[in-house]
Amino acid sequence: MQITGSSRWKTYENWSRRYNNPIISFYLGKTPNIVLNDIESAYELLEKRGEIYSSRPRNIMGQEILSGNMRGIGMAYGPRYRQWRKFQHTGMIGKAALAFRQVQDLESCVLLRDFFRPSVNYNDSLRRFATSVAFSISYGRRIRSLSDPIILENIRAQQGNKTCSFKLTYSLLFIFGNTTTAYSKTTKPGRYIVESWPFLLKLPKFLQWFRWEQDRIRQLDTEMYTRLLLEVKGKMDRGISKPCLSTNMFESVREGEMTLVQMAYNVSSSFAAGIATITATVEVFLMAMLHYPECLNKARSEIDSIVGRDRMPSFEDMNSLPYTNALIKEVLRWKPIARTGFAHATTKDDTYKGFYIPKGSVVYANIYAISKDSDIFPEPDSFIPERFISPTHPRVINFDLPFGFGRRICPGKQVALQAVFIIISRLIWGFNFIPPFDENNHPILPDLEAFEGELVTRPKPFLLRFEPRDRDTKKLMDSSAAEAEVELEGWD
């Protein structure tokens, strides 16, 4: 049996149906791989038995070589991971997350204005928004445009290196929020020979041809992360820094507890992950609204009745918009962006329903298949926000499936959901979404199966025009953006 790399989540689901078992297993080399295709087994093993299932499999290219074992998302479960996790929690949960609402609010105002400007690519506008918010959260400074000096400086540095064009591409992917994509390529089974033959690491480094490019990328990453962190330290010393993860790092880490490079990687992890999540989720929302305009109209009616037309939705409206919140949850379920999530690894032998799971097994939760479970989500291929209005299943009531499980659940969930809410609610309030039309005046809608990416997927680019609902709405969005730009000057 063959695993199709670009859509292995579908292959896993097909195997599960073929063998009439939600748990499937196969070997890659000598390593058993277990895939959980139902919500019951995923939560039982990855959450309730977290003491066994919370580690990560060894990833030589991505975690050890490309990341120097410093990306928390790929760390084995242990003291270093718990230290990373503690820092992420204190910086992005509860009151800390609420503190970031201001910059999310202001940047969303700028984003709305970008959407109705001619000749502006909405995908680029989304990336700029997500990059700026993530940069503000990590480093206390915004990104005004994709030609921001920090981006251009990094691109020039890459071009000055005579290695290959991949380095420039990698830089652009990182700065625009897609480091997760570059990292995920290293996790694909069979891509790199050293994953199967780790004894190659015993060769002298100058003979380890497979690592040359990743070593150079890691060096550039390390220089950039460290420089950004030290810039914040300089602002702190001058008393002009904004509260952010970097300031929290300097204030909370005791001397000798981490090296400067470890601190820099800890801060950068939130920046990289948040951008891909926000942009892909909003793109799925736009895809859904083109195919299901009746859902758009229901959410719009709710927002108009609660918020009115004289102001935009705000975070204070969040608890008063049940249908809009249900629509956002359905966006996350309908086309999940992390379809198999990150691989877990077992630290002990275990059994489940007669199924033996040996120590060192690689375990995936097939979020794609779980999201299509018709026993929990009737008509799973359809976009039905109402399924989240009055749910009875506990995993639908507390819907955090897209963010992972147990001790590995995404620590930035609250911050990401805040950003998604403020963008989506304001897009619904402010715009009509107009697809292109063919020669017969039929709308050209995006292909629902046209996605790209591996670990994190997103819709392939599709054409779309943003039309303000009326003149007064456009005027309000324009003036709000101008006011936001003034307030954001403190984040430059």
* Coil/strand/helix, residue 439: coil
CA angle 45, 94, 110 (to 5 degrees): 110
Which helix (H) or strand (E) element contains residue 356?
strand 355-357
Tokens of 427: 């897009």
N residues, the chain: 492
b/e per residue, 99-130, with b = 16+ CB within 10 A? ebbebbbbbbbbbbbbbbeeeeebbebbbbbb
**Binding site membership: which residues?**
410
All residues at 6 or more sequence positions from 255 whose CB lies less than 8 Å from its CB, including other chains: none
Q: How far apart are CA 121 and CA 117, in angstroms?
A: 9
- Whether 126 contacts 177, CB under 8 Å: no
Per-position DSSP letters for 289-323, written without gaps between them: HHH-HHHHHHHHHHHHHHT-SSS---GGGGGG-HH
**Binding site membership for heme: which residues?**
410
Among 190, 225, 195, smallest CA distance to 211 is for: 195
The CA-based diameter of the chain, rounded to the nearest angstrom, is 69
- Whether 183 contacts 66, CB under 8 Å: yes
Among 49, 22, 48, 77, smallest CA distance to 349 is for: 49
